[in-house]
Structure 1
Amino acid sequence: MYDNKHILNSLNNLELLYIENKYDFRKQVSDILEEHFTNVYNTQNADEAIDIFRTHKPKIVIIDIDDRRYDWVKTVTRIKDIKSNTKIILISKFDAHIMLMEAINLGVTKFLVKPATPTELSDAINFCIQQLQHENDIKIFNTYVYNIYNHDKSMLIMLKNGRPVVANHIFLNFFNVESVKEFNYKYPDLGEFFLHHEGYLFSQLNNYWLDNAKAHHNNLFHVQIKNKRGEPRHFLFKYHLISQEKAYAILSFDDVTELDLTKTLDTEKAHNESKTKLLEKDKENVYNLLELLQKSKVKVHVHNYYKGLTIVHDAEIIDVKENSITITTVYLQQKAIQIDKRAIITSPVLPYSIVCNKVVKIDYKKHTVELGDLEFSRTSPALRKTIRLSPNSKYSVSLFINNQRYKTDISIIDISIESVNLKFEDVPLNLKKNDKVTIDIIFNIDNKPLIINSEAIVLREAQEQHNSNVVFLLNLNINQKNHLLKYIKNRQVEIIKEFKNMKDKTL
């Protein structure tokens, strides 16, 4: 009866129960099935069938009905009550339509009408086996995901329509609850745990923290939450959208308390710490923070300067090593990094910008850059208020100290409408901070001279013998500012064109 060609090879540890009231037929089919299954149990009695099933729990049950008096509905129901995912094949010579509808309602896997051919029965068994294998694959996958989910260092919770529905063990343990149901009962709003801190996601008690996080789901946020012992812990928080299921979202909380970033984020506290101590903490914290940004797939901004022009694009961190990180970014930013020979990374979640002082490797084909020698910087290109550019070669500059022209070669490193950074061949070491001088600069715009004559104050003096730069704060009138602004705008366009038109061979 059973067609060997249709038997699957992978039937290890599969057991089958065959219920048939005709002994000779039952024995014949059972002998064939035993060649392919680990164990085949057969019986003609319904009660005995249930006892066998309860003891051995075979994954497939075949019920052959020849007698209308046989209560197959009761047998199927009792089997499904014991193990709901059991695969049941029903074979009957009676009214197919009525039985089929009832079989579907009871969860029967396959319904065959007598006389069923060996191929039909073989195909039905194969179908059951494929379902069992697929269910087993899903079980293995879910077990694996579950283990990761509960052994991940992050607190994770899934929301449905803003309401928690699933959470990992770390989350439940942090809030000292046994289940999400208990959490929802005790704490109607997760936001009630967030502690106020300026600049954090939760700065005051309100009902809009979740909306804010959802609206900025690409960002990381700082939050502070008290644990079950009442101790404040510092987390990096992210709202993860599930695009296929709009009603669902996952919240992740990465504990960064040990990084002691609260002091770093608080400017006043950071100011009171010794510089040496802060730098030591910086080296430890930079890579830890970048690992969290990589894990959360949060984009950062990469800044570079080309002749004073700021080049900035998004980037994604794809690898973090002990002494370097690798980012992926656009071609123009790669060019800017190679020219600048360093890069600055910023992100709203970082307490300060990160300066990468070493370019390890640039791969233009993969759009990747490996950067090393990383440290926090207390200044940020994002805070730059004015444009500072290097002028073209068509200019002249003179410095007057006490109405006397200082006789040395002077060049302009960069200039803005507020200040100018001058480089001296022979540094005027007698200049001190807040000293007043006069600066004359003649630029060329459209072959016409643009004259800037301004009083200036020493903003930053030459600190060391090898430092030949002095920064001056300009005191320009309205007309001079307008003229200089016009020059800076024209120069900005020149630099942009120059940068974009650069060929690879010039790098």
Structure 2
Amino acid sequence: MSKEKLLELSKKAEGLKLLYVEDNKGLQQQALKVFEKIFQDVTACDSAEEALSSFKRNQPHVVITDISMAKLNGLEMAKMMKKIEPFTKIIITSAYDDKEYLFEAIDTNVSKFLKKPISIVNLIEAIEKVTDEIHFEKNKDLFEHYIKDAFQYQDTMLILIKEEEVLIVNKKCLEFFSQESTESFKEFFVNFDEQLLKHNSFLYNHDNVDWLKSVKENSGKLFNVKIADKENNSRHFILKAYKIPDKENVFILSFDDITELNLLVIYDKNAMQQEKHENQKKIIYNILEVIKRNKSSIKIYSSYKGLIISNTGVLEYISEDYFIIQTPYMQLRAIKINNSLTIESELFPIAVLCDVKKVDFESGQVFVKKYRFIEDMPSQREFIRVEPEENHKITIFYESCKILADVRIVDISVEGAKVVLSLLPAGLKAEDEIVVDIVFKSGAKPLIINVKARVKVLTELKREFEMLLFFEHDSKVKKLLTEYVANRQMALIREFKKL
């Protein structure tokens, strides 16, 4: 056995006491030379009776004992020791390969059973095993003590659960729900879904949604919940589940009360359209504060010629003037091209469009100066939209007449396109039917598409007009568009990577 291994093991055994029981003086002296290099506190005994007396006085962490001894054998002694201190680690040595001894050792919860003659390697492995077990149990006890202690001093409501059973609940939570103890809260928690009030886009039990299953399956995600207090006033909480590492199905449920931010109204239908710009900024700022406080991430979207580039981002700093987001390099490149980005979070009712102040590639950060709500949410786009090649040609016919205007496609999908016209023919309005001829020159042969379309949205810009078209195509045209959009998407990905 190397000196390095013994030194490593002696560090693990630091602070641990060993009781060694062996009635053969020769073997005892040989073994003590090894044990004293590992343990700082070693006691040797010749008999089980002497060992029991020493055990009661010194309370050793580890006991190594032979089975065969006069009067009281090692296993009987081990049983007595386990009754006094169940967490003591006991290693049994025996010259006999007797299955009855082995089974009895297992029943006694002995840590290791070693057959004589014992190699130094096997002995060291056994000692290392029990020292690791001791440290694991100590850390476990410290962890549980820390959790219980930390729970009581948190400003948020906290519940520790395993499966669906409540293990610990903090004082703030007991007080809010008018419960006297953890035991009474356990019964209360069985019907906890009744506490979650219905609210637009909030989490509560409905249809096939199970609130507890949802938060556990999405550990780390933020959920809006509404709960009534003692006076029956609605309170707005951010609910988050934290999965405890190395603990099977154990979670901390955190309820962060954000009622004072007055955000409930923004989740009501059409509320965002009625909010003034300045009020929107304050609302967004407050939500960003909640996201940062809960150490949650946001989803960032940028585009390159219609191609959506998306990554997660972490809020590094927030002030009323600007905020800083950390995000991967590829996302920073896309942001730099557009000088803007869109962010989404489970806490935002709709997406937020941000103007960029600065992109710092060295630190991986983007500085955002202005932001506002927008209805177009990138995550909810049904179809891939891409910007076509610059040399495309588009001709539009309205009431069998060609529209004599400069026309270009902003982006196109399998189901429709956004186009811009320099002039608008008299009488053309939303829901009118038109015919579109498109020529794409990306391949060896031009791709020609002739399709009927309906004008869904018509918007007058400063010097031109924008139309959102929905195609009314057959399967042949749909196949051509599907192939074109897929090929164009791959071409844009390659192009973006080369930038």
TM-score band w.r.t. shorter chain: 0.5 to 0.7
Partner of 2:82: 80
The CA RMSD over aligned residues, in Å, is 5.8
* Structure 1 residues 3 and 217, CA gap change in structure 2 (3 angstroms): closer
Does residue 164 of the first structure (1) align with residue 165 of the second (2)? yes
Does residue 265 of the first structure (1) align with residue 264 of the second (2)? no
Does residue 128 of the first structure (1) align with residue 127 of the second (2)? yes
After TM superposition, the score normalised by the length of structure 1 is: 0.65
Pairing of 1:441-460 with structure 2 (within 5 A): 445=438
Partner of 2:204: 202
Give me the whole-angstrom Cα distance separating, in 1, the residues matched to 2:289 and 2:438: 47
* Structure 1 residues 108 and 459, CA gap change in structure 2 (3 angstroms): closer
Q: 1:342 aligns with which of 334, 340, 343?
A: 340
Query: Is contact 2:62–2:130 with CA below 8 Å preserved after alignment?
Result: no
Pairing of 1:89-168 with structure 2 (within 5 A): 89-92=91-94, 96-112=98-114, 116-117=116-117, 120=119, 123-124=122-123, 127-137=126-136, 139-140=138-139, 143=142, 147=146, 150=150, 155=158, 157-160=160-163, 163-164=164-165, 166-167=167-168
Measured against aligned partners, the alpha-carbon deviations of 1:119-141 in whole angstroms (never above 9, x if no partner) come to 54784365224421353156437
Does residue 352 of the first structure (1) align with residue 350 of the second (2)? yes
* Structure 1 residues 221 and 4, CA gap change in structure 2 (3 angstroms): closer
Residue identity opposite 1:13 in structure 2: G
Give me the whole-angstrom Cα distance separating, in 1, the residues matched to 2:456 and 2:34: 103
Aligned residues: 462
Query: Is contact 2:339–2:355 with CA below 8 Å preserved after alignment?
Result: yes
Partner of 1:325: 325
Pairing of 1:178-189 with structure 2 (within 5 A): 182-189=184-191
Q: CA deviation at 1:58?
A: 1.0
Does residue 235 of the first structure (1) align with residue 237 of the second (2)? yes
Q: CA deviation at 1:112?
A: 4.9
Give me the whole-angstrom Cα distance separating, in 1, the residues matched to 2:5 and 2:381: 74
Pairing of 1:285-434 with structure 2 (within 5 A): 285-286=287-288, 288-289=290-291, 292=294, 295-296=295-296, 300=299, 302=301, 304=303, 306=305, 309=306, 311-312=307-308, 314-318=310-314, 320-322=316-318, 323-328=323-328, 337-358=335-356, 360-361=358-359, 370=366, 372-373=368-369, 375-381=371-377, 394=393
1:198 is paired with a residue of what secondary structure?
coil
Give me the whole-angstrom Cα distance separating, in 2, the residues matched to 1:121 and 1:84: 27
- Over the matched positions of the two proteins, sequence identity in percent amounts to 21
1:17 is paired with a residue of what secondary structure?
strand
Residue identity opposite 1:255 in structure 2: D
Measured against aligned partners, the alpha-carbon deviations of 1:47-83 in whole angstroms (never above 9, x if no partner) come to 5533432232112223345544225444212211222
Query: Is contact 2:386–2:489 with CA below 8 Å preserved after alignment?
Result: no
Give me the whole-angstrom Cα distance separating, in 1, the residues matched to 2:47 and 2:210: 65
Query: Is contact 1:16–1:61 with CA below 8 Å preserved after alignment?
Result: yes
Measured against aligned partners, the alpha-carbon deviations of 1:437-484 in whole angstroms (never above 9, x if no partner) come to 5569997645999999x9999965x7xxxxx3465789x9xxx9869x
Query: Is contact 1:221–1:349 with CA below 8 Å preserved after alignment?
Result: yes
Query: Is contact 2:193–2:205 with CA below 8 Å preserved after alignment?
Result: no
Query: Is contact 1:19–1:42 with CA below 8 Å preserved after alignment?
Result: yes
Give me the whole-angstrom Cα distance separating, in 2, the residues matched to 1:419 and 1:148: 55
Pairing of 1:43-58 with structure 2 (within 5 A): 43-44=45-46, 46=48, 48-58=50-60
1:224 is paired with a residue of what secondary structure?
strand
Query: Is contact 2:292–2:315 with CA below 8 Å preserved after alignment?
Result: no
User: What stretches of structure 2 of length at least 5 have no aligned partner?
Assistant: 397-403, 440-445
Give me the whole-angstrom Cα distance separating, in 2, the residues matched to 1:244 and 1:122: 30
Residue identity opposite 2:311 in structure 1: A
Partner of 1:39: 41
Measured against aligned partners, the alpha-carbon deviations of 1:225-245 in whole angstroms (never above 9, x if no partner) come to 346786644334456789999
2:327 is paired with a residue of what secondary structure?
strand
Give me the whole-angstrom Cα distance separating, in 1, the residues matched to 2:293 and 2:94: 63
Q: CA deviation at 1:196?
A: 1.7
* Structure 1 residues 437 and 256, CA gap change in structure 2 (3 angstroms): farther
Does residue 501 of the first structure (1) align with residue 491 of the second (2)? yes
Give me the whole-angstrom Cα distance separating, in 2, the residues matched to 1:393 and 1:37: 81
After TM superposition, the score normalised by the length of structure 2 is: 0.66
* Structure 1 residues 129 and 176, CA gap change in structure 2 (3 angstroms): farther
Q: CA deviation at 1:166?
A: 4.0
1:501 is paired with a residue of what secondary structure?
helix
* Structure 1 residues 283 and 45, CA gap change in structure 2 (3 angstroms): same
Partner of 2:442: none
Query: Is contact 2:93–2:113 with CA below 8 Å preserved after alignment?
Result: yes
